[in-house]
């Protein structure tokens, strides 16, 4: 049985991926900086503490793994990947970003990780997701308190993806990584949707009307810069407000990997309605 190490195992993609791989019978090690054992034990996999900025600690954490699901984060991609290969890792499934392909200067860290795995001598597969549907969780408080969504570029449509589709796609690759060596998959939702349309989908999911208020570029930049580097925030607004043809076009790659359409934003909103209306979570 191959051993698969999953970085970001406390995150929305990594936790779902680790649980899915474990349920399928794989030997899984969940890695994260502050990971606890209880959720992993109930899902049937082991955990180890790992920090992607700690190259030596990461190498110890992945020792014994045949494949690694790797987040494109951390300051030393070349050294980190090389150390992992030296421990015996034979394949990387890298969770990169759509921006690494369309705006590599702005998404330099993701682009550097892509280069590192390509040049590692190990097998590699790269996943480039579009914006996450779950970014809409950032609207949850204003929906609950004000009955409104505040967002920029209300009429610009993008094919956002359900994070669980990313996890399932990664699991499909890791189930037979040798069949996916050297492949790059662009992971998107099935259709481009605007923030106004996302607001309508959330309203339908929770059974109440919602207002949409469009933020200015500057207000949105201040909000994003509080949670990400300024250059990445500016690039993100570039995608949100002035996407390239490839950024606004749905990709068939989720269907190619999973044999089904990607999950719609409306279905994501229905599944997560409790985040926007707590009374539904309690029902």
Residue 187 in this model has a pLDDT that exceeds 80: yes
Domain boundary among 107, 129, 151: 129
80 and 27 in one domain?
yes
pLDDT at residue 41, rounded to an integer: 63
CATH number for the domain harbouring residue 212: 3.40.50.720
Listed residue (85, 68, 78) closest to 109, CA to CA: 78
* Tokens coding 155: 């009429």
Q: Are 63 and 87 in contact (CB under 8 A)?
A: yes
Domain boundary among 79, 109, 129: 129
Does residue 183 fall inside a structural domain? Answer: no
Greater pLDDT, 108 or 39: 108
Instruction: Read off the pLDDT of each residue in 18-35 and give the average, rounded to a whole number.
Output: 93
Q: What share of the chain is helix, strand, coil (3-state, %, to 5)?
A: 50, 20, 30
Mean pLDDT computed over every residue of the chain: 94
Q: Helix (H, G, I), strand (E, B), or coil: what is residue 215?
A: strand
pLDDT at residue 2, rounded to an integer: 87
pLDDT tens per residue, range 61-80? 999 999 999 999 999 999 99
Number of domains in the chain: 2
Cα-Cα-Cα-Cα dihedral sign, residues 87, 93, 99, 101:
positive
Q: What's the count of helices (H) and strands (E) in the chain, helices before strands?
A: 16, 9
Does residue 59 fall inside a structural domain? Answer: yes
Residue 257 in this model has a pLDDT that exceeds 80: yes
* Tokens coding 13: 């993609």
138 and 89 in one domain?
no
273 and 140 in one domain?
yes
Q: Are 277 and 140 in contact (CB under 8 A)?
A: no
Residues in the chain: 283
Residue 38 in this model has a pLDDT that exceeds 60: no
Q: Are 64 and 42 in contact (CB under 8 A)?
A: no
Residue 152 in this model has a pLDDT that exceeds 80: yes
Q: Which residue range forms the structural domain that includes residue 68? A: 3-129
Q: What are the residues facing 7 on neighbouring strands?
A: 31
Question: Band of the pLDDT at 34, cuts 50, 70, 90?
Answer: confident
Does residue 170 fall inside a structural domain? Answer: no
Does residue 165 fall inside a structural domain? Answer: no
pTM (whole model) above 0.75: yes
pLDDT at residue 40, rounded to an integer: 61
Does residue 172 fall inside a structural domain? Answer: no
153 and 77 in one domain?
no
Distance (Å, rounded) from C-alpha 95 to C-alpha 79?
18
Does residue 239 fall inside a structural domain? Answer: yes
For residue 179, what are the contacts with CB-CB under 8 A and spacing of at least 6? none
pLDDT tens per residue, range 112-126? 999 999 999 999 999
196 and 121 in one domain?
no
Q: What are the residues facing 28 on neighbouring strands?
A: 4
pLDDT at residue 274, rounded to an integer: 96
276 and 140 in one domain?
yes
Instruction: Read off the pLDDT of each residue in 173-194 and give the average, rounded to a whole number.
Output: 96
């Amino acid at each position: 049985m191959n051993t698969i190490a999953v970085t970001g195992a406390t995150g929305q993609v990594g936790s779902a991926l680790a649980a899915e791989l474990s349920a399928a019978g794989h030997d899984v090690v969940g890695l994260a900086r502050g990971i606890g054992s209880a959720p992993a034990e109930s899902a049937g996999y082991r955990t180890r503490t790992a920090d992607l900025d700690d190259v030596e600690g990461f190498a110890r954490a992945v020792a014994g793994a045949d494949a690694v699901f790797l987040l494109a984060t951390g300051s030393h991609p070349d050294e980190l990947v090389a150390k992992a290969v030296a421990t015996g890792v034979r394949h990387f499934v890298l969770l990169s970003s759509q921006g690494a392909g369309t705006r590599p200067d702005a998404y330099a860290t993701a682009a550097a990780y892509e280069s590192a795995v390509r040049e590692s001598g190990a097998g590699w597969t790269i996943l480039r997701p579009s914006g996450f549907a779950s970014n809409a969780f950032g609207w949850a408080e204003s929906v609950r308190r004000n009955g409104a969504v505040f967002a920029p570029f209300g009429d610009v449509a993008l094919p956002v993806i359900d994070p669980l589709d990313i996890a399932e796609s990664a699991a499909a690759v890791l189930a037979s990584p040798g069949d996916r060596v050297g492949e790059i998959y662009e992971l998107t939702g099935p259709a481009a949707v605007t923030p106004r349309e996302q607001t309508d989908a959330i309203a339908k999911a929770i059974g109440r009307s919602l207002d949409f208020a469009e933020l200015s570029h500057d207000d949105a930049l201040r909000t994003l810069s509080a949670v990400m580097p300024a250059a990445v925030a500016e690039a993100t607004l570039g995608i949100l407000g002035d996407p390239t043809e490839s950024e606004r076009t749905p990709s068939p790659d989720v269907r190619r990997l999973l044999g089904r359409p990607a999950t719609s934003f409306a279905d994501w909103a229905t599944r997560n309605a409790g985040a926007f209306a707590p009374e539904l979570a309690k029902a």
